[in-house]
Each structure stands twice: as C-alpha cells, then as structure tokens.
Copies of this chain bind each other. A is one copy, B any other.
Amino acid sequence: MTEQEQRPIKKVGIFKCGNIGTSPLLELLLDELADRQDIKVRTVTTGSKMGLEDVEEALPKIFEFNPDLFIVISPNTALPGPAKAREAISNSKRPGVVISDSPGKRAKADIEKQGLGYIIITGDPMIGARKEFLDAVEMALFNSNVSKVLAVSGVYRIVHQEIDKVIYALEAGQTPILPRLVVDLPFIRDNSELNNPYARAKAMAAYALAEKLAEVNVQACFMEKESEKYVYLVACAHEIAQTAAKLAEEAREIEKYNDTLVRKPHAKSGKTKTKSRLMQPPTFPEEVG
C-alpha cells in the first residue's frame, strides 16, 4: 500500500443501488462545505433499482475510479444485487464499508467474513412502496422526513465519523479498523450529541418511530394483499414518518433555544472542528483543552 500512502488525497468510491434514507446525502456528509482537501468522492448509482443485472453493469465504473476506500449502500444488503457489490469489493482487497437497513442484519456474518465493515441502521425504514400511494412526490417527502430523523438522532454524524476514521487511518498509512455497528435505539441513546436530556429523549422517540414505521411498511408491502388494507398501512407509516420528523426537529430546537447545539464542520484538512454556541468559532478539540 506504499503507493497509496504517498498519494496525498484519498479517493472514496461510493456505490449506491436502490435507496435508503442514508443514501441520497451520503457523499455530501463527508464534505459538506466542498472544501475538504484530503479526499475526493466519486459515486456511481443504479437509481432506485438494485437488481443483479443493474449492479453488474454499473459496478465496474466505481472500480475504474480506483478508490482507496469503498462504500456500498443499499436496502437489505443480503439481496443478490448488493451482495454482488460486496463480493466484488471484498475481492478488491481495498477497505470497504457496507451501509444498510434493518433487514441487512442477516448479512452481518457474511460481511465480516468478507473482511468488510458495516453500519446497519435499524431506524432507516423501508418506504411505502405501493402504487396506489407512492409517486415521485410522496417518495421525496418520505425521504425528507426520514432524513430529518436520521440527521437529528445522530445517524448521519455516526456515519460520517466512522468513514472519517477509516480515511484518517488510510491517511496515516495505517490499516483501518472498519466499523461494525448496529445503530439501534440504545446506540442512538448512547451516542447522542444533544445536551438537554429531553431533547435526547425526543430524538430517541423520533428514531423509535422510524423503527416502528419500518415494521408497518413491511407488513403493508409484503404481507397484506388487498389494497383496502395495505393502502391504510402505508399511509399510516408515512404519517409516522412525518410525525417523527417533527419530533426530531423539536429536539434540535431545544438545543437552539439553549444555544447548546453542537456543530462539527469538516476543516479543509478533513478533521472536524467542534462548537456549541452559535456565535463562537469552531475549534479543534485539542484547542479547547
């Protein structure tokens, strides 16, 4: 890996097939100010489809970018399409991290065997994919709501910090320790950046709602056969999503009301600075001590 160590800029290759709530903004989470000088990000996606054929056609492109680190994100990583992507990344011998939703838990052993890392997000819920209900606008609103929950409850922070850690290790010429995390309600509780305990409880509640709505959508999409029954269920699930987003927003508002909202922007170096009072500048953690 000598060659890589000498390369000053690490390249992150993201492969997305199908969509979960963490997918659309994933590459932006790594470089939200677009001025990070230690990484380049390249993404290839197959859109909402995640069939084996789609993956097989699109996957080679991400390898052609020759990334230092692979990320593959998809619903249920145990399905053939995402599984194919994992296999190819594993074979590349480059470090790779799998990000998936609750059904992806089934593939944990597999992923470990493949030498990859994983972040399984139990509160990244399945959408209400029923043609009587879901159109482009409803889909977008669901993603908007879920995204708010994932942002406030800390999932997006966890995701970028875990990827950042791998990048920092690569930059230091070390073999990265890949994440192996199931991000469930207790994990959310223990890793929240919200200072007010009720804000934390509200963010947890939002996350718990996301878990619940996933259950309702699974019921609606895979088990109920009559539209009179499943349409109510998907509508119910998307109402929960909307409510969860409001609750998440309220949690964050509490921190704003107290001017204790933690922000961790990426510096140009790629490291994150931290701040909590709005009118104070962000600093590197070591600067504080």
Residues of A whose CB lies within 8 Å of any CB of B are 18-19, 24-25, 27-34, 40-50, 54, 57-58, 61, 64-65, 129, 131-141, 143-145, 147-148, 150-152, 156-157, 160, 185-186, 189, 196-198, 200-202, 204-205, 208-209, 211-213, 216, 227-229, 231-233, 235-240, 242-243, 245-247, 249, 252, 254, 256-259, 263-267, 272-273, 275, 277-279, 281-282
Contact A232 B212 (CB under 8 A): no
Interface of A is mostly: helix
Chain copies in the assembled complex: 6
Contact B131 A140 (CB under 8 A): no
Contacts of A278 in B (CB 8 A): 132-133, 197-198, 231, 235
Contacts of A131 in B (CB 8 A): 33, 265, 267, 273, 282
Contact B160 A136 (CB under 8 A): yes
Contact B152 A141 (CB under 8 A): yes
Question: Which of B256, B263, B277 lies in contact with A135, CB distance below 8 A?
Answer: B263
Indicate whether A50 sits within 8 Å of B34 (C-beta atoms), given known contacts A186-B229, A240-B209, A264-B135.
Answer: yes
Q: How far, in Å, is A193 (CB) from chain B's closest CB? A: 8
A136-B266, A209-B209 given; name 8 further pairs at CB < 8 Å: A28-B48, A33-B134, A44-B44, A131-B267, A131-B282, A135-B272, A144-B147, A201-B239
Contact A231 B279 (CB under 8 A): yes
Q: List 7 A-B contacts (CB under 8 A).
A: A135-B272, A141-B151, A144-B147, A144-B148, A196-B257, A200-B235, A204-B232
Question: Which of B49, B233, B279 lies in contact with A31, CB distance below 8 A?
Answer: B49
How far, in whole Å, are A10 and B106 apart by their CA atoms in the complex?
A: 35
Contact B64 A197 (CB under 8 A): no
How far, in whole Å, are A170 and B25 apart by their CA atoms in the complex?
A: 31
Choose among A47, A198, A209 the residue with the greatest number of B CB atoms under 10 Å from its CB.
A47
Contact B208 A212 (CB under 8 A): yes
Choose among A49, A57, A267 the residue with the greatest number of B CB atoms under 10 Å from its CB.
A49
